[in-house]
A = this chain, B = another copy of it.
Amino acid sequence: VFRPPEAGVVAITTDTLIEEVDFHRRWTHPSLLGRKAVAICVSDLAAMGAQPCASLLALALPRDLTGGFFRDFMRGFLAEAACWGAPLTGGDLSRSSCVSITVTAWGSITEGAPVYRNGARADDLVFLAGEVGLARLGLDLLLSEDPPLAELADSPESLEAWAAQPERSRCLTAHLLPRPLVQVGRWLQREALANAMIDVSDGLAADLGRLAEESGLTAELDLSVVPRPFAPWAASREAVERALLDGGEDFALLFTASPTQAQRLRTLWPAEFPECRAVGRMLAGEPAVFLIKEGRASEYRPGGFDHFR
């Protein structure tokens, strides 16, 4: 039971992580998994500009995982929930053949309107706050090296030690322990500097496609201005480009702003925030995403994560 804010609205979100689909037990320590389950939900709130308030957890576990796994998972979950001001207030525990984690979180917006996905306007610029592609490249590392990380790394420090190199560590951390951009989302909402916003969970192009679809506009994306992570283990230049375009789960924020808003944004952007750059624009036209490459536009064909494709 909660007493809602006296003014304004409540934003609420739910997200599921399924073993062998969304994560692998071999590669993630239960406490990092607990943290990530909270983080991805909190990121959804951030993308609306909401201040996290509280969370619920519906956890289904195989019978043999109810001891240490459960304790470690909850330790991470509670620490992360406390970190974002979204304490656990209830939930459901059940048995299953594989680990299934559903987190519900809600947050408040007491002044001004929430930022929706459908608010983009023609001639808005598209901005990206934070980096993309890192999490996918981190997953590539795990896929190729298959380390028993769950036993080795239960913190950013131990991950870093295992990774051995800063660029490996950055990508692994992005995959295993993403940081939702709550302050950035809150700030954009308060300052009314974003017309539409989404967190990049399924891939930069796919999520831009959602803004385009819901706003009834065409989007252009210029990948040449998106920072390319240094990932010497990537198979090719194309693999890095695919990670940028289709790699999800970095939880960067993608938003649109009018040219006037964009000017204010550039003046006011707080120095302590992650970098923010214009990566495209919205145009009147059928919902679609066009990639700009060497001055030419080609329509993007989906490659982002879709559970059922």
- On A, residues with C-beta under 8 Å from B are 1-6, 8-16, 18, 20-22, 48, 56-58, 60, 63, 66, 89-98, 100, 102, 104, 106, 109, 114, 116, 307-308
CB distance from A208 to the nearest CB of B (A): 20
Chain B residues with Cβ under 8 A from A92's Cβ? 14-16, 102
Interface of A is mostly: strand
Copies of this chain in the oligomer: 2
Q: Are A100 and B16 in contact (CB under 8 A)?
A: yes
CB distance from A99 to the nearest CB of B (A): 10
Q: Are B90 and A13 in contact (CB under 8 A)?
A: yes
Q: Are B308 and A63 in contact (CB under 8 A)?
A: yes
Known: A5-B4, A95-B21, A95-B307. A14 touches B102 (CB 8 A): yes
Chain B residues with Cβ under 8 A from A3's Cβ? 8-10
Kindly report which residue of chain B lies nearest to residue A16, judged by CB atoms.
B58
Kindly report which residue of chain B lies nearest to residue A97, judged by CB atoms.
B98
Cα of A112 to Cα of B296 in the assembled complex, Å = 64
Cα of A229 to Cα of B142 in the assembled complex, Å = 57
Cα of A60 to Cα of B46 in the assembled complex, Å = 24
Q: Are A18 and B90 in contact (CB under 8 A)?
A: no
Q: Are B100 and A14 in contact (CB under 8 A)?
A: no
Cα of A91 to Cα of B48 in the assembled complex, Å = 15
Q: Are B98 and A12 in contact (CB under 8 A)?
A: no
Kindly report which residue of chain B lies nearest to residue A96, judged by CB atoms.
B18
The 8 closest A-B pairs by CB, nearest first: A4-B4, A102-B102, A95-B307, A18-B96, A16-B58, A14-B56, A58-B102, A104-B104
Q: Are B16 and A90 in contact (CB under 8 A)?
A: no
> Which of B6, B10, B18, B104 is within 8 Å of A100, CB to CB?
B18
CB distance from A22 to the nearest CB of B (A): 7
Cα of A58 to Cα of B40 in the assembled complex, Å = 14
Kindly report which residue of chain B lies nearest to residue A307, judged by CB atoms.
B95
Chain B residues with Cβ under 8 A from A63's Cβ? 308
